[in-house]
Amino acid sequence: MSKPVILVSNDDGITSRGIAVLVEIMASIGEVVVVAPNSPQSGMGHAITVGETLRLEKTDIFGEIPAYECSGTPADCVKMAKHFVLKDKWPDIVVSGINHGSNTSISVLYSGTMSAAIEGALEGMPAIGFSLCDYSSEADFSHVHDYIKKITLETLARGIPKGVALNVNIPPKRNQNIAGIKICRQANAKWQEEFDQRHDPNGRRYFWMAGNFVNYDKGEDNDEWAIANNYISVVPCQYDLTAYHSINHLNDSWQILD
Amino acid sequence: MSKPVILVSNDDGITSRGIAVLVEIMASIGEVVVVAPNSPQSGMGHAITVGETLRLEKTDIFGEIPAYECSGTPADCVKMAKHFVLKDKWPDIVVSGINHGSNTSISVLYSGTMSAAIEGALEGMPAIGFSLCDYSSEADFSHVHDYIKKITLETLARGIPKGVALNVNIPPKRNQNIAGIKICRQANAKWQEEFDQRHDPNGRRYFWMAGNFVNYDKGEDNDEWAIANNYISVVPCQYDLTAYHSINHLNDSWQILD
């Protein structure tokens, strides 16, 4: 069997440590092509570049591995990879990350890492976003290698249901070993924002957004529980946002329908 | 009963025609507060501003109606409204739009309009994103008034299931009247991008993203069908992205789980 073609992207930018680790792991599995943002794109959600021009430049940052830096968002990167880089060689899988920081629970909505994966899924490809639940720029990635390789190989071997991308979160390096890999649902939690209000040298006020993560979920089948208990969480995510359970409810209760 | 408090935001920016129409309609229903981006934010998905400062300035653009322009994304606007504008007066509903252009089907993922609504839903409030399926800056909004009012009043009266925001798309002004309002699912369709490649005066290439919308969906219960047949589509959207149907599948088929 020929080696799988693997498209790698991320949202922390092509020079981040996380993507370097991911490229190294993927190079041990298949033929790697990198298209990633030329600057950090954290919190970009599923943004795309509309009404502005895009740049795409080849870079030798990964040596022999073909790599391109793009001026756009993670979703733009996958779109541009498809058109200008991969052309006839459609990838067997899209992987994104490794994100510096957690993308569990509701953070998936804001995640540029997952938007690259979901863009891959939209094109019908198996796609995975990987995040390490450690925000430090000095984060220790030494425990992720074998697990990311195992999850990627399993995905290549068994596929993923259509319309779904995997959101994989890995606990930070702790004293105890990783307990295992768990398929989870997205935890019911949210960010409780706090804004730090300051004044610039001209006396005009400005704000920094900060916040605390608040977990309302008491279950043991969700990604927050998994990370807290040292498991790697794998949440299958869909891009069909329809709340099907609400369709009947609205049809029954609304009086303004025809 | 006291008048409902209504938070209005959008993604085309506070000076767009669509938000002016929405503010006018909402002022006929309740007490309106506007917090909207100070510049267009189309295609921003559920982006938030991370690692950059935010500004929030009062404006008299809507006369007596309290209004603030924010340097951030639509999701930022709702977060800032909550903290700095509404304070003790939590709104009864969040409405976003009216977007200049369709947010049917997969476009919901890229939609800043819907991200403001979903941010409201995350806070447990009824929330609706309104879009007019007409991209023209000269778009005719004359047919939307009664329907938007009716949908907003119905939502206030009957509520929306928790965890859900409504994605409302309105057909462009045509010769025949609107056929009615339909609860729909998100159509299975996608954007087939095309990139227009050019060269700048220095000979470096750059790109404009364009694309065609391709509808694979043959059903009559989806938002694309509704708009094509002159119905207003109402899709209940959830922010829990978990593909629940895939959890068992992955648990059964993967060999690497513990």
pLDDT in tens, B148-170: 999 999 999 999 999 999 999 99
CA distance B48 to A215: 20
Strands A56-59 and A67-70: antiparallel
- Tell me the count of A-B CB pairs closer than 8 A: 227
A43, A79, A206 ranked by CB distance to B48: nearest: A43
A83, A246, A257 ranked by CB distance to B181: nearest: A257
Name the closest residue on chain A to residue B55, using Cα atoms.
A206
Residues of chain B found within 8 Å of residue A255, distances taken between Cβ atoms: 154
Residues of chain A found within 8 Å of residue B246, distances taken between Cβ atoms: 160-161, 164, 236, 238
pLDDT in tens, chain A (258 residues): 689 999 999 999 999 999 999 999 999 999 999 999 998 876 666 667 667 889 999 999 999 999 999 998 898 999 999 888 888 678 999 999 999 999 999 999 888 999 999 999 998 899 999 999 998 878 999 999 999 999 999 999 999 999 999 999 999 999 999 999 999 999 999 888 888 889 999 999 998 988 788 899 999 999 999 999 999 999 999 999 999 999 999 999 999 997
Asked if A183's CB is within 8 angstroms of B254's CB, the reply is yes
Name the closest residue on chain A to residue B253, using Cα atoms.
A158
Contact B227, B133 (CB under 8 A): yes
CA distance A214 to A104: 12
**Best CA proximity match to B162, nearest among A153, A249, A80, A128:** A249
- Among B50-59, B124-133, B156-165, B219-228, the minimum mean pLDDT is found in B50-59
A102–chain B nearest CA distance, Å: 14
**Best CA proximity match to A45, nearest among B39, B72, B110:** B110
SS (H, E, C) B151-184: HHHHHHHHCCCCCEEEEEEECCCCCCCCCEEEEC
CA distance A24 to A142: 12
DSSP SS3 for A163? coil
**Best CA proximity match to B217, nearest among B184, B242, B195:** B184
A110, with CB counted inside 10 A (0-12, 13-18, 19+), is buried
pLDDT of residue B190: 85
ipTM for the complex shown: 0.90
CA distance B42 to B176: 29
Asked if B55's CB is within 8 angstroms of A158's CB, the reply is no
Order of strands, sheet of A180-183, starting from the edge strand that comes earlier in the sequence: A56-59, A67-70, A31-37, A5-9, A93-100, A127-132, A164-170, A231-238, A180-183
Q: Please, which residues bridge with residue B197 across strands?
A: B207
pLDDT of residue A43: 65
Identify which has the larger pLDDT, A212 or B50.
Answer: A212
Identify which has the larger pLDDT, A218 or B42.
Answer: A218
Q: Which of B71, B83, B149, B242 to mutate to test the interface with A (most CBs of A within 10 A)?
A: B242
CA A165 to chain centre: 9
DSSP SS3 for A112? helix
pLDDT of residue A23: 98
DSSP secondary structure letter of residue B37: E
B151, B179, B206 ranked by CB distance to A55: nearest: B206
**Percentage of chain B with pLDDT > 90?**
75
Asked if B251's CB is within 8 angstroms of A209's CB, the reply is no
Radius of gyration of chain B (CA): 19
Asked if A49's CB is within 8 angstroms of B40's CB, the reply is no
**Best CA proximity match to B91, nearest among B120, B62, B115, B118:** B120
CA distance B74 to B19: 13
Mean pLDDT of B188-217: 88
Strands (E), chain A: 5-9, 31-37, 56-59, 67-70, 93-100, 127-132, 164-170, 180-183, 189-199, 205-215, 231-238
Residues of chain A found within 8 Å of residue B235, distances taken between Cβ atoms: 241-242
Residues B178, B179, B185: CA angle, nearest 5 degrees = 105
pLDDT tens-digit readout, B108-152: 988 899 999 999 999 889 999 999 999 887 899 999 999 999 999
Q: Which of A192, A256, A258 to mutate to test the interface with B (most CBs of B within 10 A)?
A: A256
Sign of torsion, CA B35 B38 B43 B45?
negative
pLDDT of residue A90: 81
CA distance A8 to A161: 21
DSSP secondary structure letter of residue A25: H
CA distance A137 to A212: 20
Using the predicted structure, report yes or no on whether residue B42 has a pLDDT greater than 80: no
The distance in angstroms from the start CA to the end CA of chain B is 56
Residue A98, CB half-sphere, CA atoms under 13 Å: how many? 30
B42, B83, B242 ranked by CB distance to A50: nearest: B42
- Among A77-86, B29-38, B63-72, the minimum mean pLDDT is found in A77-86
Domains along chain A with CATH numbers = 5-188+218-253 (3.40.1210.10)
Q: Please, which residues bridge with residue A59 across strands?
A: A67
Name the closest residue on chain A to residue B49, using Cα atoms.
A43
Which residue blocks in chain A are alpha helix, DSSP H? 17-27, 74-80, 112-122, 145-158, 223-228, 244-253
B110, B242, B243 ranked by CB distance to A161: nearest: B243
CA distance B168 to B113: 10
pLDDT of residue A88: 62
**Distant-in-sequence, close-in-space partners of A69: CB < 8 Å, separation ≥ 6:** A14, A35, A36, A37, A38, A56, A57, A59, A61
B40, B54, B241 ranked by CB distance to A238: nearest: B241
Residues of chain B found within 8 Å of residue A247, distances taken between Cβ atoms: 183-185, 236
Asked if B180's CB is within 8 angstroms of A150's CB, the reply is no
What distances in angstroms separate CA A119 from CA A72, A190, A233, B237, B257, one per listed residue?
Answer: 14, 24, 21, 19, 26
Residues of chain B found within 8 Å of residue A203, distances taken between Cβ atoms: none
